[in-house]
Structure 1
Amino acid sequence: MPEVKRTKLFYHLKKWLEKAVMDYRMIEEGDRVLVGVSGGADSLALLDLLNTPMVFVPEFSLVAVYVDPGFEPDSAGYDRLERYLKTEGYDYVLEKTDIGPLSHSDYNKKNPCFLCSRLRRKRLFEIAGEKGCNRVALAHHQDDLIETLLINMFYGREISTMMPDQPIFGGSMHIIRPLAYLREELIKKYSREREFPIIESSCPTGPVSRRRYIKDLLNQLERDNKDIRANLFKAMSHVKMDYLPVLPALRQPVSGKREMALTDCGMDR
C-alpha cells in the first residue's frame, strides 16, 4: 500500500475520526468492517482514513464495497475506481445494479431517493453477510447529521437524525459513521489533497432534493450566524425533554430498532 501523505489536515481528521470511534465504541477488536463506497469524496476519504494506522482504535479488517446505482454508463469512472482500489491493496467488491433507474421509474415518483437509498443499503447488508462483516461504515459526516435532523423535522414530523453507531438485526450488525464529528468542507479539502478518483453522481434528483434545499437554507442562515451548524449539532446533545410538549405516555427511550431515519438520499456519501 502506498504511503499516505502525513499533512496537518490528515492528523486533524484522524484525531476526530478516532474520537468518534472511541466515544461510541464503533469498532471492537477483530471486527470486520464493510466500508460503503459511493465513488464520492466523502466515502473515499473515510476508506482512506480507516485504512491508515490507528492510535487508539483496536485492530480490525475492512472491505470496500461499491454498489453502482446504474443511472448512466460510466465505465471510465468505474474502471478508474477499480484501479485505485487494486493499487491501494484493498479487499473490495464492485457491483453494477439498476437500482437508480428502478427507484426513479414512473411507479415510484413520490420518493425516489428513499427507495434508492434503501435498496442500495439492503445490498450492502447482503454483501456484508457474505464477506463476514459485522460493521457497515458509511461516510455521513457532521453536516449530514444536522441536515437529516432538519429534514426529519420539516418533512417527517419528528425530531431525529442518523446515529453514529446504530445496531441492526438484533445487534448482530452495526451501522457506524466514523466521520460524525467532521465538517464536510474539511473532508472535501482532504479528498482534493489526496486526489481521489471521484465518480461524479449522475442522479437526476440530486440537484433538487430535500437535502439540497436544507443545505442551501443552512448556507443562507450561516451568512448571519457563522455558528449555526455547530449550534445545531451541539443542540442534539442538549435535549431538555421537560421543555418539550411530549405527552407523559409517549416519553419512551429510543429503541434503536429502526433501520434508518428519513434521510432522503446520501446513502454512503
Structure 2
Amino acid sequence: MTSVTDTEEARKLKTRQNKLQKRLRREMGQAIETFNMIEEGDKVMVCLSGGKDSFVMLDILMNLQKSAPIQFELVAVNLDQKQPGFPEHVLPEYLTELGVPFHIVERDTYSVVKSVVPEGKTTCALCSRLRRGTLYGFAEQIGANKIALGHHRDDILETFFLNMFYGGKLKSMPPKLVSDDGKNMVIRPLAYAREKDIAAYAELRGFPIIPCNLCGSQENLQRQVIKEMLQGWDKTHPGRIETMFRSLCNVVPSHLADAELFDFKNLQLGYAHGIVDDEDDLPSHPKAAVQMMERIDILSL
C-alpha cells in the first residue's frame, strides 16, 4: 500500500524533473537558435555513447522535435567499440522501446587503442580521433547532414582552460563547426546546459547509463584536474562559471594580443579604435575582414 509520504515524494521528484526538463529545453532551444544548428529538412545524427550527456541530448531533442516550427529527422547512432564487458543489449533495447530510428556501428577501436597506447598512458585522444573518424564517415553513409554531440557548457569551459594551460591557445569547443575536410557539420545542442543539471535530469529519468571502462579510471587526466578546479570555483564563488562562459561569447580582439586576428600594425588616428570604417577600404580576404572587426563571438568560429 502506497503511503502519503511516498506519494508526496513522488510528486516532488516529478516536479523537479519537469523543471529540469523545461530549463534544458529552453537552453537547448536558445543554442539551436543562436547558432542556427538545425534547419528545415535536416537529418540529424545523434551520437549516443551511453553516457548521461548523450541520453539527455536525445531526450530533449525528441521533445523539441514535437513542437518545433520546422521539420527535421533524428537518427540515433551508437559506436560499439568492442570494449570487454560492454553491455551490447542495453542501447538497442532502449532505443527500440523509445521508437527512434537507430544504428549500432561496430568497430574494434578498443584493440587499436590498447595496442598503440602504452599501459598507464592517456587513451582519450586516440580513442576520440578513431571514434570521430568512424562517426563522420557513417554520417555520410546514412545521408545525415548534421552530427549532434553531447558536449555541454562545462565541457566547453574545460576545453578552453586545457588549451590555455597546456596548449598556449585561446580555443575551445564551438557549438557548431564544419569538419576539416568540409564534409560534416557538427553541432552541440547542449552548449548552454550545465553538467549538474544534465546529471540530475538523467538520474530522475533513470536512463540506462553505460560507464566508459576504457578511460573512466584514469583519474590523473589533465581534464580531470581542470574539472576539479572549476568545481572548486563554483562552490567558493557562485556565479563565476556563468561569468566565464559569457566571456567566451563576448570576445574583443582589439584588447588581446593576436596580431593575425586584429590588425594592430595598421591602426590609425582619427577612427574609432583606430579602425578604418569606410566600407570601400575593407579588405576582401575573409581573414583580413575579421581583423577589421572590433568584436567577434569566439564560439562561432
Q: Same fold (TM over 0.5)?
A: yes
Match of 1:130 among 121, 131, 141: 141
CA–CA separation in structure 2 for the residues paired with 1:232 and 1:104: 37
How has the CA–CA distance of structure 1 residues 48 and 248 changed in structure 2, closer, same or farther, with 3 Å as cutoff?
Answer: closer
CA–CA separation in structure 2 for the residues paired with 1:237 and 1:140: 17
Match of 2:171 among 160, 167, 179: 160
Partner deviation per Cα, 1:199-250 (whole Å, 9 max, x = no partner): 1110246422221111011122233212221121011122222222223587
The alignment status of 1:178 with 2:189, answered yes or no, reads yes
Equivalent residue number for residue 102 of structure 1: 112
Give the letter aligned to residue 102 of structure 1. Answer: V
Of the two structures, which has the highest relative contact order with CA contacts closer than 8 Å and spacing of 6 or more?
A: 1
The alignment status of 1:120 with 2:131, answered yes or no, reads yes
Unpaired runs of at least 5, structure 2: 1-13, 264-286, 292-301
CA–CA separation in structure 1 for the residues paired with 2:218 and 2:38: 32
Partner deviation per Cα, 1:85-132 (whole Å, 9 max, x = no partner): 011112111133321342243456765311110110111111111111
Q: State whether residues 122 and 218 of structure 2, in contact with CA within 8 Å, keep that contact through their aligned partners in structure 1.
A: no
Equivalent residue number for residue 36 of structure 1: 47
Equivalent residue number for residue 211 of structure 1: 223
2:178 counterpart SS class: strand
TM-score (norm 2): 0.76
Higher mean displacement: 203-212 or 83-92: 203-212
Equivalent residue number for residue 96 of structure 2: 86
Query: Structure 1 runs of 4+ off > 4 angstroms?
Result: 106-111, 169-172, 248-254
Q: State whether residues 151 and 188 of structure 2, in contact with CA within 8 Å, keep that contact through their aligned partners in structure 1.
A: yes
1:73 counterpart SS class: coil
Equivalent residue number for residue 237 of structure 1: 249
Q: State whether residues 141 and 182 of structure 1, in contact with CA within 8 Å, keep that contact through their aligned partners in structure 2.
A: yes
1:35 counterpart SS class: strand
CA–CA separation in structure 1 for the residues paired with 2:220 and 2:213: 13
Q: State whether residues 82 and 107 of structure 2, in contact with CA within 8 Å, keep that contact through their aligned partners in structure 1.
A: yes
CA–CA separation in structure 2 for the residues paired with 1:249 and 1:188: 38
Q: State whether residues 18 and 57 of structure 1, in contact with CA within 8 Å, keep that contact through their aligned partners in structure 2.
A: no
The share of aligned pairs that are identical, in percent, is 34
Aligned residues: 248
Give the letter aligned to residue 34 of structure 1. Answer: M
Q: State whether residues 254 and 262 of structure 2, in contact with CA within 8 Å, keep that contact through their aligned partners in structure 1.
A: no
How far apart are residue 168 of structure 1 and its match? 2.6
Counterparts of residues 65-84 of structure 1 (less than 5 Å): 65-74=77-86, 77-84=87-94
Give the letter aligned to residue 128 of structure 1. Answer: A
Counterparts of residues 181-260 of structure 1 (less than 5 Å): 181-204=192-215, 206-247=218-259, 252=287, 253=290
Higher mean displacement: 48-57 or 145-154: 48-57
Unpaired runs of at least 5, structure 1: 255-269
2:177 counterpart SS class: strand
Q: State whether residues 253 and 262 of structure 2, in contact with CA within 8 Å, keep that contact through their aligned partners in structure 1.
A: no
Equivalent residue number for residue 64 of structure 1: 76
Computing the radius of gyration over CA atoms, which structure comes out larger, 1 or 2?
Answer: 2
1:52 counterpart SS class: helix
Q: State whether residues 22 and 57 of structure 1, in contact with CA within 8 Å, keep that contact through their aligned partners in structure 2.
A: no
Equivalent residue number for residue 48 of structure 1: 59
Give the letter aligned to residue 242 of structure 1. Answer: S
Give the letter aligned to residue 196 of structure 2. Answer: E
